[in-house]
Chain A
Amino acid sequence: MSAVVTAPASAGTGQAPRGAPRRRRWTRFVLPAYSWLIIAYLVFPIAVMILYSFNKVTTGLPQVSFAWNGFTTQWYQQWKDIPQLTSSFWLSIRLALAATIVATALGTLLALALVRYRPPQLRGKGFLEQVMFLNIAAPEIVMGASLLGLFVTINVARGFLTLLLAHVAFSIAYVAITVRARMAGFDRSLEEAAQDLGANAWVTFRKITLPLIMPGVMAGALMAFALSIDDFVTSNFVSGAAVPFPVWVYGATRIGIPPQVFVFGSAIFAVGILCALASIVVARRQT
């Protein structure tokens, strides 16, 4: 009987209903233990990567061996001793920054159009949304292969430009969706107020709209950056002479991975995880 009375309260706090003690054992011990096990499984290869970035090399060849040969910090001191690896890393950074800027700009404009207008004002909206969905759901290898087919057909030399074109093409839809999702609670009367006070369209956008949608735009930009810097499948098809970091590492797997690859991997991981933890802490402070 009391369960009926307390039901609205428990629903409000989002807690699971209080039930038989038998259920408690599951939610308090079995599921948490299982979840931590899965997390350990997800983290394990990263730990192995960091461990192997300290592995000694005994063969004289610049390759990490599968066996453990002892601890050394040599590879961190010689992190830029493989020029092609270092240059492919910086190429990836430049590419990701450029792709992020273009994709974020185009994706944000698209999101604004999709949030504000419906078919009488924006004809073809449904089609546009279908294309975005297809762009996200289609297998990446098909996109990479078809882009290569296009570049070969129209005789475009493969390099930084084709990489940039491709990376923006697979990021726009993600950015637009991310920005659009964050615009759900956007109060348009604020824009109308600015315009009633004499602001023109550009001033209204810069002073009112952009600051309000900025969190969404930043989330979209982060998404685009992450997609671009880690992309292998499409890049492998359209890279040509300009070799991004993942494609270089892929090429290196055939002859043996130099330890510096794991140094770069560990450094990227450290930077990424610190940024993510910082954002969680900031978000927690704000609430």
Chain B
Amino acid sequence: MEQPVLADHPGGVTARRPRPRLGKALAPYLLSLPAGLWLLVLFLVPLVVMLSLSLQSCNTATGACVMTWHWGEFGQQLSLYHAQFITSFYFAGAATILDLIVSFPIAYWIAFHGGSKKNFFLLMLLVPFFVSFVIRTVVWEFILSDQGIILGTLKNAHLLPQNFHVLATGYAVVAGLAYNYLPFTALPLYVAIERIDKRVLDAAYDLYATRRQAFLRVILPLSVPGLFAAFLLTFVPALGDYLNQQILGGTSNTMIGTVIQNAFLVNLDYAGGSALSAVLLAIALVGIFAYARLLGSRTIEDYI
């Protein structure tokens, strides 16, 4: 048992050779350098550039910007577009709550009763991802359209008044968001519920817990990390989404994503767009930091 094994001693044999040792010391950095640099230059640096742009003054005709340390951009943009921020909160919040309610039972059922068909059901939860996000949203426009397969049929059967419509309302946007982000809610919930030790549940029943007590006092508390991850992975992207609003919401109910998109791509107002993006990021960071604080940032790896 206590026999000394050379290879188990760090630097045992190789320590005498200087070149491999240097290589060994550098290896961790060489392995992480390419990806680290990529993330630095194309993820962190752009965020800094964005903050800097929001303090610059831009010529909206040419798109040329000069640094002026003009903090007023934030106040100005917020006073112009706070309504769009609030709309985004309402729509993303409504879609997230709907998704949490809708996907909890199915996540629970697959985790506890999926049996040998678990993989099949998980694939079914992922099935929307096999169709492009833009096409999925366009198809909802077809489904919800005034003369489409649902409303058209109901109207022809005189079950709905002729002027009834869903498209170009907030309901259509929430429906689209809820559909598009449902897998992001259901999968983290499934992962969390799947991890619950079934023996804990058995113990609860052995101690004469009712079904309701077992659910409220065992299953629900133990799936809180999954609920939180699902919330983060659904609410944050939905908050910045602009496709659903533009295709399903008509010209009213503008969400903040549309304002940012127009600032960057239509009005070439890089300073204003950057200020709004920075505010959106700050809002998202509240949730992201809360998550990292409570559950640890590495736990997100279990849910994606």
Determine whether A243 belongs to the interface, using a CB cutoff of 8 Å to chain B: no
Interface residues of B in 93-115 (CB under 8 A from A): 102-103, 105-106, 108-110, 112-113
Q: How far is the CB of A138 from chain B (nearest CB, A)?
A: 6
Residues of B within 8 Å of A42, CB to CB, are: 124-125, 127-128, 179, 182-183
Closest to B211 in A: A23
Number of chain A residues whose Cβ lies closer than 8 Å to a Cβ of chain B: 110
Let me know if B298 and A129 touch, CB within 8 A. Answer: yes
CB-defined interface of A120-160 with B at 8 Å, one 1/0 digit per residue?
01100000111111111111111101111110110000000
Let me know if B108 and A31 touch, CB within 8 A. Answer: yes
Contact of B129 among A116, A226, A284 (CB under 8 A): A226
Residues of A within 8 Å of B131, CB to CB, are: 45-46, 49, 265, 268-269
Q: How far is the CB of B188 from chain A (nearest CB, A)?
A: 12
Determine whether B216 belongs to the interface, using a CB cutoff of 8 Å to chain A: no
Q: How far is the CB of B133 from chain A (nearest CB, A)?
A: 5
Residues of B within 8 Å of A226, CB to CB, are: 129
Choose, from A77-85, A102-110, A210-218, the stretch at the interface: A102-110
Determine whether A56 belongs to the interface, using a CB cutoff of 8 Å to chain B: no
A121 to B197 CA separation, bound complex (whole angstroms): 36
Closest to B279 in A: A142
Determine whether A250 belongs to the interface, using a CB cutoff of 8 Å to chain B: yes
A139 to B198 CA separation, bound complex (whole angstroms): 36
Given A232-B243, A250-B243; A43-B124 close (CB under 8 Å)? yes
Residues of A within 8 Å of B241, CB to CB, are: 141, 233
Number of chain B residues whose Cβ lies closer than 8 Å to a Cβ of chain A: 106
A133 to B292 CA separation, bound complex (whole angstroms): 9
Please report whether the interface of chain A is mostly helix, strand, loop or mixed according to DSSP: helix
Let me know if A130 and B297 touch, CB within 8 A. Answer: yes
Contact of A122 among B32, B146, B297 (CB under 8 A): B32
Given A31-B108, A45-B140, A131-B44; A122-B28 close (CB under 8 Å)? yes
List residues of chain B with CB under 8 Å of any chain A CB.
7, 23, 25, 27-29, 31-32, 34-36, 38-39, 42-47, 49-50, 53, 63, 65, 102-103, 105-106, 108-110, 112-113, 119-121, 123-136, 138-143, 145-149, 152, 179, 182-183, 197-199, 201-203, 205-206, 211, 232-233, 236-237, 239-243, 246-247, 257, 260-261, 264-265, 270, 273-274, 277, 280-281, 284-285, 288, 291-292, 297-298, 300-301, 304
List residues of chain A with CB under 8 Å of any chain B CB.
3-4, 7-8, 10-11, 14-17, 19-20, 22-23, 26-27, 31-32, 34-35, 38-39, 41-46, 48-49, 52, 64, 66-68, 105-107, 109-110, 112-114, 116-117, 121-122, 128-143, 145-150, 152-153, 165-166, 168-169, 172-174, 176-177, 180-181, 192, 196, 201, 226, 229-230, 232-233, 236-237, 245-246, 249-250, 253, 257, 261-262, 265, 268-269, 272-273, 276-277, 280, 283-284
Closest 6 CB pairs of A and B: A139-B240, A113-B31, A146-B46, A110-B35, A133-B297, A122-B28
